[in-house]
Structure 1
Amino acid sequence: MKFRDIGVLAVVILIVAMLVIPLPTWLLSFLIIINITLSLLVLLTAMNMKEALDFAIFPSIILLLTLFRLALSISTTRAILAEGDAGDVVETFGEFVTGGNILVGLVIFMLLVIVNFIVITKGSERVAEVAARFTLDAMPGKQMSIDADLNAGMISEKEARERRDKVSRESDFYGAMDGATKFVKGDAIASIIMVFINLLFGMIIGMAQLGYTLNDAASHFSKLTVGDGLVAQIPALLISTATGLVVTRAASEGNLGHDITSQLFAQAKLLYVAAGTILLLGLFTPLPDWITLPIAAVLALGAYLADRKKTETPEEALEIEEEVATDTMKSQENVVNLLNVDPIEFEFGYGLIPLVDAAQGGDLLDRVVMIRRQLALELGIVIPVVRIRDNIQLQPNEYRIKIKGNEMAKGELLLDHYLAMSPGDDNSIEGIDTIEPSFGLPAKWITEKTKEEAEMLGYTVVDPPSVVSTHLTEMIRANAHELLGRQETKQLIDHLRESYPILVEELTPTPLSIGEIQKVLAKLLRENVSIRNLPIIFETLADYSKLTSDTDILTEYVRQALARQITAQYGLGGPTLKVITVPAKLEKLIADSIQQTEHGNYLAMNPQDSQNVLESIAKEVERVSYMEQSPIILCSPAIRLYLRQLTERYFPQIPILSYNELDANIEIQSVGVVNVE
């Protein structure tokens, strides 16, 4: 144990000993001064804290100080009744503070008790009770808010854990304060009882045992009783005041002194009104001018200084900001921060500032929040925060999208135009020819006047914010596998562990590491397969990871386990799925071209055969597209992975499915065949 721990234990033991062991008067005087000092220190600490949790130990301190004060009262009572002497401090308070008038001392003592018991303690008790009740009632809402921010990616798992811990500690603190105020209330009641005991029994003992006359006994023991009551009530009043300050602090930005000066004396006009009112009271009433005029002058001076400070604040703030920026650029930490790469960046030219400026009606920030929520539901991962910034190096109407620091796409917007996409070959609408950035379709920028005509002709007309939102959504969806790293995978595993702890323990860290699980999830996302249903994915990995550790093969097993999800994704709820099939001849050619190595299997097809397969796929895809259908290639499970490897570079958006990935209830209709001579 450390020295400070031993010291605290010794103090507690001393307090308990004071209840039963008589102490010399000099030690009582010393402990009384210590009691006043500690109470004053507690009050100053309560005044300088910014929030309640800054003084989280306060309920326990109330208990210890109350016990210490009661132990002192019992010790002084024992000394008064046994010896007729309680030390110099008690006697000094009995004579000097009361001015030698016992009645005045009794009145002062009773006033202190009334103020402490009825005003401060009673109010603190009520505030503590209400605060505890409101804090407990608000706890579920705060927890839900933290979970929502975490799911939206606005905070990290560590920040969420810290916020949850703070909410829990606030609830515990205000609950403890509700109980601690009962100690303060009980202490005030005990002080009243002890005064009557000291006075009554002191006079009886003084006359019966010490030989005092009635007047001498009344005078002597009244003085000691008042002194003892005052040295007990002053620390009690300080602690009660500190209790009231702690439980009444809410929505504070600084300590008590800062809040009072910044809020009560912040408005110069009100200070001028107060100064004028006091001045008029001094001039037109019998109130003495030597009191009212200086007070009015001080208020007027304070109003002038507050008004002057407010006028100079913008310039001073600008200077301070420039100094801080200069110091930050010189610091070593700033250079280290430059190494950080944002997962997703959206940069735009100065001409597109209205897109993000809420004052000009821009709602891109709100759209980004909705995009992250939408993709979280679709893909099953938490999309990182999108860093949005302007870039003077871009053209005024240009924007670009970066993933992991690399430019993935760019586009151009005309904010005072609409983007119109033709349903066919109709080009009768006048406008500026362009290309729709998300899907590469021919389009035109049209004006507000032409918008209604274009809609009547069947054009798809969208505003610039929708254009850029769609482009950003598609780029994030297409590159979601790059956004899922080991750290993000660990967060998904921790989230799954809360509901399926046995499943997670069976799979990780053995037989699969976080890196191997991340590879499987990234391969699914790469082919636009949602990983939201993590329990099924982990169940499948737990079953087959004992047979193989090849992440490609494990991914195929997971895809088959997600057959209903994949069928619903591409079947769009219909009873029939139209696909382009792969003949047995081509499947045999691919199967014979698979090379098996100790590092995994890969496709090693003849270049000419590969070219023929790709040309045939391109021809069928084009033919199916003319039929206004989405091309889907269907093959056997044995070659699906390798056919995907062959077509991924040239046809990344065309899904390659196997028969085992489709629900048995769906009807398959072939609308094309990949023929290879």
Structure 2
Amino acid sequence: MKMPPWLSGLLGKGNSKALAAPILIVLLLAMMVLPLPAFVLDLFFTFNIALSVIVLLTSLYTVKPLDFMAFPAILLVSTMLRLSLNVASTRVVLTEGHTGGAAAGHVIEAFGHFLIGGNYTVGIVVFVILTIINFTVVTKGAGRIAEVGARFALDAMPGKQMAIDADLNAGLIGEQDAKRRRQEVAQEAEFYGAMDGASKYVRGDAVAGIMVTLINVIGGLVIGILQHDMAFADAMKNYTLLAIGDGLVAQLPSLIISTAAGVVVSRVASDQDVGTQVVGQLFAKPQVLAITAGIIGGMGIIPGMPNVVFLMLAGVLGGAAYVLNKRQKQAVVAAEEAAAAAPAAAAAAAAAAPENEEATWKDVMPVDTLGLEVGYRLIPLVDKGQGGELLKRIKGIRKKFAQEVGFLAPPVHIRDNLELKPSAYRITLKGVEVGAGEAMNGQFLAINPGMATGTLPGLVTTDPAFGLPAIWIDAGLRDDAQNMGYTVVDAGTVIATHLNHLITTHASELLGRMEVQALLDHLAKDTPKLVEDLVPKVVTLSALQKVLQNLLGEGVHIRDMRTIIETLSEFAAHTADPNELTAQVRIALGRAIVQQLFPGTNELAVMTLDNRLERLLMQAMAGGGDVAGIEPGLADTLAMQAGAAAAQQEQLGLTPVLLVPAPLRTLLSRFLRRGLPQLKVLSHSEIPETKTIRVTSLVGAPA
């Protein structure tokens, strides 16, 4: 049937599923108000049972709770459906119950006769037991788990958000992935909160089921005896069986739905469904199966016990234990052979090298600009065949570095090094080690950002990138660590973060002539005339490289190459000194530099020099001196007080920035950079006029 144009326009193209909810609400209201024939009741009762089974199976095959986010709403709708059916069936039971057991349909008749043998006493007991199980065990437990899960999810949100921000800053994920993960964190807390509230509907449904059944029995007796002149025994039998059948046909789907709710909220998120988890973990240890087989077998030989059943089950368990033990030994032997074959293969390759050949220029191997060497236990992280995630993360680091800093970093050459510890790695720059650490593959590093509470069992260490206190923990403690406020990352993320930190720190050394030329070629595609007029007519390629390296050495991004080239074109005719040209470029990039150091604020909280110290330094500059060559006592005082002021700024959550006159900026930055790499030195001429300056401390002021 073709949809009317007005309805099609209202729903929008391809959005006919939006009709499901309004139609369902209308059906629920209709069942409560309009009388339904027995066949329609049978149809709806059957649908209710099928719906509960579908929900249970869906929950069993769900990998993580957020994959079934619609469950709280489904829980509410299924509860309302059962209550509507109770109202509709009550109307039929009370009006047609005197005619016999099939008055309210064959489904209720089947539950009232065949399932409980037509004995309403047995039916009452079974109905009460099912209601108690649903009300006091399943629903109450699921509601409690949902309540605790919601609390833990809220407590863990700061740690998870920090982990997302750390991955984003390290270039491991993009902005879209970070947005999606933040949304998942918020949805997780909302889901458990909704489940906690939705479970109250099921508990209320259980209470309502008891009350409706009692009302049906009492009302049926009154109507049967007074209106239809039935004997008490006949009325009791007819109406009680119908009421119990009605209650059972409603309570069975309710129990199934409650079980599904318990499965959803009680499972731990992983990449496996519940069935795979249970089989893979419950029957994974042959020792457990063997001991159980012994206990069951011992019980089977006791006189008076069902010996055949017990001994049969003991035999099955013992056989399963033997098979599992054999498979595990074969896996261990295969792993040991593979580990032993790696160094043997390397030695054989080395021995196979020709010894009598003359040395040639092919033997001179070029030094890799960036290198990453790993121990053999970390090989799975960098092996494509084993799904190494670190390779993808390194690609993300280079892409993020290019987008933020302004040039493409050299590729990272990865190799295994059998001389390293099995879980160790080292990062090299032009063949020289610039960073090293250990990463426990299969474990997680819980980093204390300064606000974590509680202690965790594991190997105590420090974060290799930033030196924060950390602990290597097992995967099962990940959620506990996040709830305590730790930032939890895997081994691949540890290496990737360390690599990203070192690439950013040594950006100036990564910018060689080849990179500068590639940067100019890329820029020439959009502004060829601008590049042609600068290099080599105004400045040489080496001079441009030096200016760009000076900027990168002080943490200034070079994305705005157009401004850099235009500034050099203007001032390179007056001076060829790279330091002076760098100072002019910094002034032109002042707005970007300030935004990089003080994002999202117009007030700049900075440190400045005391007037007397400033005059001494200016006099030294006027006399042709250098800050590094001034009187040693004054240099020590300057470095010590600058370090103390920078530490105070960091404790206040502020970026340590020292604001000085323009003639002092270059030399002070060079002098303080070695001992205080986190301290940034700005000149007054680099501050935009729209910014407000707030002085937080004076360097060189008397104590």
Q: Could you state the TM-score of these two structures normalised by the residue count of structure 2? A: 0.54
How far apart are residue 401 of structure 1 and its match? 5.4
Contact 1:198 1:221 in 2 (8 A): yes
Aligned twin of 1:219: 237
Say which SS state the counterpart of residue 284 (structure 1) adopts.
coil
1:24 equivalent in alignment to 2:37: yes
How far apart are residue 302 of structure 1 and its match? 1.9
Aligned twin of 2:246: 228
Deviations 1:225-262 (A, max 9, x none): 11111100100000010111111112444111111111
How far apart are residue 566 of structure 1 and its match? 12
2: CA distance, partners of 1:157 / 1:478: 28
How far apart are residue 531 of structure 1 and its match? 4.0
1:410 equivalent in alignment to 2:420: no
Aligned-pair identity (%): 35
Say which SS state the counterpart of residue 155 (structure 2) adopts.
helix
Deviations 1:164-216 (A, max 9, x none): 11101101111111111011111101000011011110111111222211111
1:15 equivalent in alignment to 2:40: no
Say which SS state the counterpart of residue 97 (structure 1) adopts.
coil
Aligned twin of 2:415: 390
Equivalent of 2:553 in 528, 550, 556: 528
2: CA distance, partners of 1:139 / 1:412: 37
2: CA distance, partners of 1:48 / 1:219: 43
How far apart are residue 107 of structure 1 and its match? 0.9
Aligned twin of 2:199: 181
Q: 1:554 to 1:105 in 2, by over 3 A?
A: same
Contact 1:282 1:293 in 2 (8 A): yes
1:259 counterpart letter in structure 2: Q
Q: 1:576 to 1:187 in 2, by over 3 A?
A: same
Q: 1:267 to 1:567 in 2, by over 3 A?
A: same
Equivalent of 2:298 in 267, 272, 280: 280
1: CA distance, partners of 2:377 / 2:206: 64
Equivalent of 1:71 in 64, 79, 84: 84
Contact 2:65 2:269 in 1 (8 A): no
How far apart are residue 264 of structure 1 and its match? 1.0
Contact 1:523 1:555 in 2 (8 A): no
2: CA distance, partners of 1:469 / 1:109: 64
Deviations 1:500-534 (A, max 9, x none): xxxxxxxxxxxxxxxxxxx9xx95963634449x9
Contact 1:153 1:383 in 2 (8 A): no
1:228-627, aligned counterparts within 5 Å? 228-313=246-331, 345-347=370-372, 387=412, 389-390=414-415, 409-411=430-432, 475-479=506-510, 526=551, 528-531=553-556, 555-558=586-589, 575-576=616-617
Contact 1:153 1:384 in 2 (8 A): no
Contact 1:135 1:170 in 2 (8 A): yes
Aligned twin of 1:441: none
Contact 1:529 1:566 in 2 (8 A): no
How far apart are residue 575 of structure 1 and its match? 4.3
2:617 counterpart letter in structure 1: T
Say which SS state the counterpart of residue 81 (structure 1) adopts.
helix
Q: Which runs of 5+ in 1 are unaligned?
A: 321-342, 358-364, 403-408, 416-467, 487-518, 584-619, 630-635, 642-656, 668-677
Q: 1:624 to 1:356 in 2, by over 3 A?
A: farther
1: CA distance, partners of 2:33 / 2:337: 65
Deviates most, 110-119 or 124-133: 124-133
Q: 1:154 to 1:203 in 2, by over 3 A?
A: same
Say which SS state the counterpart of residue 113 (structure 1) adopts.
helix
1: CA distance, partners of 2:222 / 2:279: 54
1:42 equivalent in alignment to 2:55: yes
How far apart are residue 87 of structure 1 and its match? 0.5
Contact 1:576 1:666 in 2 (8 A): no
Deviations 1:244-286 (A, max 9, x none): 1111112444111111111111110111100110111110242
Tell which has more relative contact order, 1 or 2 (C-alpha 8 A, sep 6+): 2
Q: Could you state the TM-score of these two structures normalised by the residue count of structure 1? A: 0.56
Say which SS state the counterpart of residue 194 (structure 1) adopts.
helix
Say which SS state the counterpart of residue 19 (structure 1) adopts.
helix
2: CA distance, partners of 1:270 / 1:22: 58
Aligned twin of 2:112: 94
1:4 equivalent in alignment to 2:17: yes
Deviations 1:73-120 (A, max 9, x none): 111111101111210110111000001221111111111011111111
Q: 1:474 to 1:68 in 2, by over 3 A?
A: closer
Equivalent of 2:215 in 176, 190, 197: 197
1:189 counterpart letter in structure 2: V
Contact 1:478 1:526 in 2 (8 A): no
How far apart are residue 387 of structure 1 and its match? 4.6
1: CA distance, partners of 2:307 / 2:230: 54
2: CA distance, partners of 1:126 / 1:564: 48
Q: 1:390 to 1:102 in 2, by over 3 A?
A: same
Q: 1:173 to 1:217 in 2, by over 3 A?
A: same
Say which SS state the counterpart of residue 230 (structure 2) adopts.
coil
Deviations 1:402-453 (A, max 9, x none): 7xxxxxx33489x9xxxxxxxxxxxxxxxxxxxxxxxxxxxxxxxxxxxxxx
How far apart are residue 382 of structure 1 and its match? 13
1: CA distance, partners of 2:202 / 2:335: 45
Contact 2:370 2:428 in 1 (8 A): yes
How far apart are residue 133 of structure 1 and its match? 1.6
Deviations 1:276-315 (A, max 9, x none): 1011111024211122111111211221232233234468
2:431 counterpart letter in structure 1: K
1: CA distance, partners of 2:268 / 2:241: 43
Contact 1:401 1:472 in 2 (8 A): no
Equivalent of 2:162 in 140, 144, 147: 144
How far apart are residue 35 of structure 1 and its match? 0.3
Say which SS state the counterpart of residue 93 (structure 1) adopts.
helix
2:294 counterpart letter in structure 1: G
Aligned length: 458
1: CA distance, partners of 2:305 / 2:203: 40
1: CA distance, partners of 2:139 / 2:79: 13
How far apart are residue 53 of structure 1 and its match? 0.4
Q: 1:190 to 1:527 in 2, by over 3 A?
A: closer
Contact 2:410 2:510 in 1 (8 A): no
1:130 equivalent in alignment to 2:135: no
Say which SS state the counterpart of residue 389 (structure 1) adopts.
strand
2: CA distance, partners of 1:385 / 1:221: 84
Aligned twin of 2:95: 82
Q: 1:202 to 1:292 in 2, by over 3 A?
A: same
Aligned twin of 2:485: none
Q: Which runs of 5+ in 2 are unaligned?
A: 1-10, 98-102, 339-367, 380-389, 420-425, 437-498, 520-543, 573-580, 595-603, 636-660, 667-681, 688-692
Contact 1:81 1:198 in 2 (8 A): yes
How far apart are residue 29 of structure 1 and its match? 0.3
**RMSD over aligned Cα atoms:** 5.6
How far apart are residue 385 of structure 1 and its match? 12
Aligned twin of 2:363: none
1:135 counterpart letter in structure 2: A
